[in-house]
A and B are shown apart, each in its own frame.
Chain A
Amino acid sequence: AQTVTQSQPEMSVQEAETVTLSCTYDTSESNYYLFWYKQPPSRQMILVIRQEAYKQQNATENRFSVNFQKAAKSFSLKISDSQLGDTAMYFCAETNFGNEKLTFGTGTRLTIIP
């Protein structure tokens, strides 16, 4: 069974600093995808970034980047130059190719302090 673990229930960081959120996963599949979703207080789930397991290069989206360590089954999210609008719950998720079922971690509540 697929499992996704986020070991940091809460984190806080000063505005403009860099923060890294941790995620580990467990899957027996060779072709899978990893995601970070953001859920601000508005409750809307927003895709932040996606990584394809067969790609060695780490995905980046503006201030957001990942550190994908396939052998360690680790997928951390780095937020650079953090902004107040980054305050949200962040969920790591995984799915196998061809499988529509997203498995989510328990989330990390990130607070950006002005």
Chain B
Amino acid sequence: DTAVSQTPKYLVTQMGNDKSIKCEQNLGHDTMYWYKQDSKKFLKIMFSYNNKELIINETVPNRFSPKSPDKAHLNLHINSLELGDSAVYFCASSPQVGRGGLDEQFFGPGTRLTVL
């Protein structure tokens, strides 16, 4: 069974469209994350949720909106896609908040988003 899964794995779309990426974890973790890896492989955190509540919100355009319907799911919706949004987006989870570093973050397989 996959611990952290993301759908879709690949997403190709036109500029200006709206798209969503879904993430699910079956580890029973409280905390989930979205990371962006750009074309130079630089990985940077975007958001973090703990038990459906937003706890980290980095400097990300308002076009990006995370949604956590329950603690096992964290989706990322992107409005008005731009060329610069092309990247690999990783979802991750960890057991609980407040233990940063004590617990491993488990990553999903990533979603490669290509905006044409």
Query: Which A residues contact B (CB, under 8 angstroms)?
Result: 32-33, 39, 42-47, 50, 52, 89, 91, 95-104, 106-107
Contacts of B43 in A (CB 8 A): 45, 91, 104, 107
Distance (whole angstroms) from the CB of A38 to the closest CB of chain B: 11
B92 to chain A, nearest CB (A): 8
* Contact partners of A103 in chain B: CB under 8 A: 45
- CA A39 to CA B24, docked complex, whole Å: 20
- Tell yes or no: B104 within 8 A of A by CB: yes
A104 touches B42 (CB 8 A): yes
| Nearest-neighbor residue (CB-CB) of A109 within chain B | B41
- Taking a contact as CB atoms under 8 Å apart, the answer to whether A45 and B100 are in contact is no
- B33's nearest neighbour on chain A, judged by CB, is A100
Question: Quick one: CB contact mask for B82-116 with A, threshold 8 Å, 1 for yes?
Answer: 00000010101010011111101101011010000
